[in-house]
Structure 1
Amino acid sequence: MAYRNLYLSQYLPGSFQQVADDVSNVGIKQYLYQNYVTGNGDNNNNQSGNSASSTVIGRLSCVTSCFQNLVKSKRKAINNEHDTDEGKMVNHEDYFHALKNSCDNVPQCCVEPYILKGYVLPQMPLRYYFKVLWIPNNELFNVWTHLVPCLFFISMLYQFNQSLNLFESWPVLIVTVSAILLTLCSSLAHLFHSRSSFQHCCWFMVDYFGITTFAYSSTVSHFFASSQLSYYNRIGWLNLLVFTLIACCGFLCMSFTQAGNRWQSVENARKMKLWSTVFGYLYGMLPIIHRQVNMAWNSYLINAENDHALFYHKLQFICMLLCPLFYASDLPQKLWPGKFDIFGHSHQIFHVFAALSCYFEIVAIHMDVTDINGPWNALKHQNDFPTFELFCTCALALIVYCIILAIYIARSIHADFIEEIPGCQCSDLNKNQQQKKVD
């Protein structure tokens, strides 16, 4: 009751203070009954000669506005049980301290939609953020859902090295190494991004670098290890340059979403990242789609029913289609805000399908390369087939480009971020600065 009186006194004009006090004391239903049903309410403030109709309309308008403000205040109180002052007093030594830290006490760019609590504290020493690996927080499973696959992919690479010459079978090497890099960069980004707004942007550009390298290696492997000769001969080795340009554009679009907060919202940033990656991914999947169509059309061929690698390509495609659905939908936490703050929210599910997609991709490329009747054995004997050295040259150019662009964006946005006070929200600081300018 006390917070309602305080809220009403702040937002209602002085002429309506009596109405606010009445509503706060007796409740909205009782107030309406007394004043507009029985007519026994206190009319001391309405003896100025106004007509009965204008009095009723005025009071109803005031009560309606009051009721709306009460509802908004109640929702805010429920969603933000700990205000900024309480957030500052969270003890980081407490094992469950992240569960007490709400979204109001971290930089706005670190807030995930419909995730209300479970945020680690900003502006802490670097060693503090290693606690993300074991304390309850909303990044705990975001880290482990990619850290575990990263270790598993490393073990797969070791096993491949025992049975294959990876430099000769380089599509297997590049897709496995890029999957390791993707999951590692993602784990590091979710581990350290909460330290500040600036580091959030920097670490997620590292994450985008991992995504770009895997997308690039995956599309190159599709074309040079999994496509049929009829599709390969349409462009030939020049497609390697096309893939490199697409990867450069993809990294540019994703990094641009971190270039300050002057224009993009969470929705706009997601759209930019989704469309930039979907276009490149679909172009890279064209060899597999062409292969599937030919296999279905020529189902009477002997090797059409024995193409086991194509089955894993399909699984990879299905998992990759599910990734943007969970990434952009915010389900299930959108339906029950606050219920999936620690476990089960959409980004964790997105990570699981992304890791599965990487696994199926590695298995499919490995089968295409090792199968005697696989497309790799026919492709590698083409006169214009690129060497591993040529691929490394293009990949090195892509890496240098990504590093230069990331450094440029990081330096350009560094001045945009003010020094944040622990436990303060960026919007509150902006409001304070605007208030000082007005004063």
Structure 2
Amino acid sequence: MLSLKLPRLFSIDQIPQVFHEQGILFGYRHPQSSATACILSLFQMTNETLNIWTHLLPFWFFAWRFVTSLYVTDIKNDNYSWPMLVYMCTSCVYPLASSCAHTFSSMSKNARHICYFLDYGAVNLFSLGSAIAYSAYTFPDTLVCTTFHDYYVAMAVLNTVLSTGLSCYSRFLEIQKPRLCKVIRVLAFAYPYTWDSLPIFYRLFLFPGESAQNEATSYHQKHMIMTLLASFLYSAHLPERLAPGRFDYIGHSHQLFHVCVILATHMQMEAILLDKTLRKEWLLATSKPFSFSHIAGAILLCIIFSLSNIIYFSAALYRIPKPELHKKET
């Protein structure tokens, strides 16, 4: 009878420090796992298993919604729907990239860094997709066709480049300066989110305008709450920091962070789709829909510069002496 031997798991004192997670003591995979062992670990309870599945399953849900939207949209002629399709596509990219990063991050020290470099790039691509959709559908009435509106997406592109660079750079500080590493990484993602959300903040707390006073408002509020909760969990390492070893497999902060991020994206998607439908007449009468060249140019610039960042920092991993970047615990 054919039997399948699952990879052996390790405790925190058996692996290099670069693989350590705060408050997680057991359930680590071999730090030089093969690709096959990484894939097998999807079906074995490790401290990464739920990190993988909490983004892999939502990827299929978002992919289904994206394909469904493609099926009912006249892509060639309905340029009003293009920003929505771009947003839905990027909402599929980041959970897939994250689940792959968590799956293959135990292949080697450098592979771990490169996996998360790609993860950061995907998150920033999603940030740009959000900005494009916000610009097209969710801006409050008084900010539509203003100078801020005109340059909003261009700044979002610049933000993705800066954020990818900062978040990749932060990984070089993980061992020697872990607190600075965390601060830089949180800021790297908080800044693009804040910029993207400025029109939403204005709409929720200042002057939404008549066309923006609709059912989407409650979804925008829920999205904001879930995003703030996700940020707190990511930064605080709770509850595992209070009880190391108790939440190694189920319930640690990164799993909860993933769940909150997915819920936030779901709320955001519902809000954008409602705004797109309910404000269509007003938006088409007030502003011009995005052209293909504007959308394609923004996405292409983001991909080119983000990949340039990822390639640069990946190459740097092999230039820096190993003792400085990958110090082992004594």
Q: TM-score, normalised by structure 2?
A: 0.90
2:103 aligns to what? Answer: 191
What do the CA deviations read for 1:108-143 (whole angstroms, capped 9, x no partner)? 122100100000112132111102211110000000
* Equivalent of 1:229 in 129, 141, 154: 141
The answer (yes or no) to whether the contact 1:130–1:191 under 8 Å persists in 2 is yes
2:163 aligns to what? Answer: 250
1:405 aligns to what? Answer: 309
Structure 2 distance, partners of 1:302, 1:275, is 33
What do the CA deviations read for 1:353-389 (whole angstroms, capped 9, x no partner)? 0011111111111111122xx1x44334556653132
1:77 aligns to what? Answer: none
Structure 2 distance, partners of 1:408, 1:223, is 31
The answer (yes or no) to whether the contact 1:96–1:136 under 8 Å persists in 2 is no
Identify the range of structure 1 (101-110 vs 398-407) with the bigger mean alpha-carbon deviation: 101-110
1:164 aligns to what? Answer: 73
What do the CA deviations read for 1:178-229 (whole angstroms, capped 9, x no partner)? 1110100100000011121111110000110111011111122212211123
Counterparts of 1:10-409 in structure 2 under 5 Å? Answer: 95=6, 97-98=8-9, 101-166=10-75, 168=79, 169-235=81-147, 236-259=149-172, 263-265=176-178, 267-294=179-206, 304=213, 307-371=214-278, 374=279, 376-382=280-286, 385-409=289-313
The answer (yes or no) to whether the contact 2:173–2:180 under 8 Å persists in 1 is no
Structure 2 distance, partners of 1:114, 1:294, is 41
Task: Label 1:397 to 1:303 Cα distance change in 2 as closer, same or farther (>3 A).
Answer: closer
Structure 1 distance, partners of 2:322, 2:252, is 31
Task: Label 1:165 to 1:263 Cα distance change in 2 as closer, same or farther (>3 A).
Answer: farther
Q: What residue ranges of structure 2 are gaps of 5+ in the alignment?
A: none
Task: Label 1:197 to 1:183 Cα distance change in 2 as closer, same or farther (>3 A).
Answer: same
Shift of 1:275: 1.3
Shift of 1:94: 5.2
* Equivalent of 2:328 in 416, 422, 427: 427
SS in 2 for 1:195: coil
Structure 1 distance, partners of 2:153, 2:30, is 44
- The one of the two structures with greater contact order (alpha-carbon pairs below 8 A, sep at least 6) is 2
The answer (yes or no) to whether the contact 1:220–1:284 under 8 Å persists in 2 is no
The answer (yes or no) to whether the contact 2:7–2:40 under 8 Å persists in 1 is no
Structure 1 distance, partners of 2:103, 2:121, is 16
| CA RMSD in angstroms, aligned pairs only | 2.3
State the one-letter code of the partner of 1:108: Q
The answer (yes or no) to whether the contact 2:90–2:129 under 8 Å persists in 1 is yes
Q: TM-score, normalised by structure 1?
A: 0.68
Structure 1 distance, partners of 2:327, 2:82, is 47
The answer (yes or no) to whether the contact 1:260–1:413 under 8 Å persists in 2 is no
Shift of 1:303: 7.7
The answer (yes or no) to whether the contact 1:250–1:276 under 8 Å persists in 2 is yes
